[in-house]
Amino acid sequence: MGVTYSLLRSVTYIILTSAVLFVGYAEPSINIFTTWNILPIVVALIILHYTDRAVDSSLPKQLGIYGFVFFTGGVVVIAHLAWLLDWGKTATGSSTSALIFVTLPILALLSGCIGWFVGWCIGLILNRHAN
């Protein structure tokens, strides 16, 4: 993949680092929930870092990892953006609406698994059409 792959990897690191900073900004104060909500993005960064150095980097595996990374980070960022901008009364609609942040990391990691599967399937399809 050469230069394009290196550029994609660098842009992904920048996006994920920006997502961590955004979550820190969107949280009202730095506390245990801030760390808990940043955790899925950190997991995605760690997985991306170690799988980039893997010996076997077939297209389905690479696309699966990027699917995991973008789905995980996307869920966390969209949830915090919805809370910050109060989309559909996300923040003000209920006294218990903040409970989304208790389950958000689990939901983000589960959606990341779905993203991995989608990326892996796309990689398989692209491999079949390339041969």
Find the mean pLDDT for residues 92-117: 90
The answer to whether 106 and 59 are in contact (CB under 8 A) is: no
When comparing pLDDT for 51 and 63, which is higher?
63
Number of domains in the chain: 1
pTM of the model: 0.85
pLDDT for the residue numbered 2:
44
Read off the pLDDT of residues 52-102 as tens digits, 9 standing for 90 and up.
666 567 888 888 999 999 999 999 999 999 988 888 887 778 787 788 889
Is 73:44 a contact under the CB 8 Å cutoff?
A: yes
Query: Contact, 69 vs 44, CB < 8 A?
Result: yes
Q: Does the pLDDT value for residue 5 go beyond 80?
A: no
Q: What is the pLDDT of residue 50?
A: 82
> Would you say 65 and 89 are in contact if contact means Cβ atoms under 8 Å apart?
no
DSSP letter (8 states) at residue 87 = G
* Segments forming the whole domain that contains residue 76: 2-130
Q: What share of the chain is helix, strand, coil (3-state, %, to 5)?
A: 85, 0, 15
